[in-house]
Amino acid sequence: MKKTITQFIHNHSLATLSVIYFLSRIVNLTKLPIFNDEAIYLDWGWKSLYTSAGLFYSLYDAKPPLLIWIFGVFENIFNSPLLAGRIVSVMFGFLTLAGIYKIAKNLGDERLARLSSIVYIIVPLFAFFDRQALMESAIAGCGIWSFYFLLRILETKKTKYAVCLGLILGIGIFIKLSAFVFLISVSLILIYKKHFKEFALSAISSLIIVSPLFFQKIFWTSLNTNNRFMLSIPELLSFPFSLWIRNFSTAVNISFFYLTPFVFILSICGIYFLLKRKDRILPTFFLTGFILVLFSGKSLNPRYLSAFFPLISVFCAYTLFNFRKAHAILIGSVSTIPTIMITYLLVISPITYFNVMDKMTVFSQKSEYLTGWTSGYGIPEVVDYLNQKGKDKKIIAGVRIDAGNPESAVFAYFNNSAWVKPTYIDSRNLDRSVLNLSCLTSPIPVYFVARDGNLAGLDKFFVEEKRYYKPENISYISISALKACD
């Protein structure tokens, strides 16, 4: 029996790895409450597909809409918008895993493919963002598969791989403009290798995919807002060395702690071994993208870097295969135990995970996900409270005109509700004559969900009923009800 199971695992490596992957990504998938940007994207997803906002609604914030549409489709399938969005990211993470497996198998053999995949599964950085309804998991998948098809082009020169490469790059750009990093990396390599025909075919394929964006006026008018995150051409030409040094320091810090120290060191060794072996295409692709990120980014963080790091799992595994078997087993065990422990913490106890990371690095994301206003803590309680109030009657859930938590979260959770109607209630969108009244009346119960007690200038009309503090009591979400007129 034991031999049969072992034989099955050996003969069906990818299937076995897939089971391990999905267990690591799906268990407690919604235990960490909805993050600020998740709430925004999920709200956009619903509004883009099911309201008059329009398919390209997200372009008003310079975000391409492809993944937003996918979120919207899944929100119509699952009752929980958070589960819907995170399932999408888990699926894209699986595509990344499959791509890593194929790349590593091409580079070495089945053993390298298995080990590379295991490293990807257990590294905390990848496990975390594969479980978030954000764009990074999808972008990582596009990056991995763009490299795979680049590899196939260099090996075979077949036209179909050039077309596939272009399609993947186009999809990536249609998801998030940061995928341009992969486009530039691939283009430089194809041109250097004198694969001009394949370069042209992939470029044309990419243009066809992204062409719908070009016909949207808002795409062009909002494009400059990306300067919030990336350096413009004039800024690059000013040679901001202090920023580049800071970016490099940030990237090293994040890599060291989020990949875990052993994986980080083994990955650097793997890059060295591959360059020494003159098998340079993999490290060249990775390092080109990494340098582009360092030089173009204004403020690097774990989330942004996670999309460009999955190939590190191959470098790490490759290093282990350069050791003697006994040494490889010892080093591999020492490397994986702390890595698995940290990933286990983020799955089982997100609060403990962030507190541990906060003791190690200034880039712990504790404020964003745990204690600050962008944290989703308090949102589940708000949703439960409003559902209870609207169990047998219609109610209005008002928020101020803003995006994020709790405003976008209220819309995301109640966009499709028959009883709870989310809407904006703000002094900025009310007539002055209304604001001069001493009280307001409504035939339908009205509640105001506020970030840190900010009632958008309507304090005199509401009375607080509930207050839900986030961990460490730094920030909170309140629910206020419309005051009764005397």
Name the residue ranges covered by the structural domains of the chain. Answer: 2-365, 379-482
Distance CA 279, CA 321 (A): 15
Using alpha carbons, select from 202, 242, 189, 218 the residue that is nearest to residue 54. 218
Q: How far is CA 217 from CA 83, 148, 230, in A?
A: 33, 34, 21
| Residue stretches of the chain with pLDDT short of 70 | 1-11
- Note the pLDDT of residue 74: 98
Q: What does pTM read for this prediction?
A: 0.94
What's the token pair of residue 345?
Answer: 């913490």
- Note the pLDDT of residue 11: 63
For residue range 122-132, list pLDDT tens digits in order.
999 999 999 99
- Note the pLDDT of residue 8: 59
CB-based contact 124:356 (threshold 8 Å):
no
DSSP label of 238: T
- Note the pLDDT of residue 5: 55
DSSP label of 435: H
Distance CA 410, CA 386 (A): 10
Q: How far is CA 415 from CA 47, 135, 401, 420, 422, in A?
A: 8, 21, 16, 8, 7
Residues facing 469 on adjacent strands: 476
Cα angle 213, 216, 217; round to 5: 135
Sign of CA dihedral 98, 103, 106, 112: negative
- Note the pLDDT of residue 1: 53
> Strand order of the sheet with strand 446-451?
420-424, 395-399, 446-451, 476-482, 462-469
Distance CA 275, CA 269 (A): 10
What's the token pair of residue 30?
Answer: 């919604």
For residue range 355-376, list pLDDT tens digits in order.
999 999 999 999 999 999 999 9
- Note the pLDDT of residue 227: 85
- Note the pLDDT of residue 157: 87
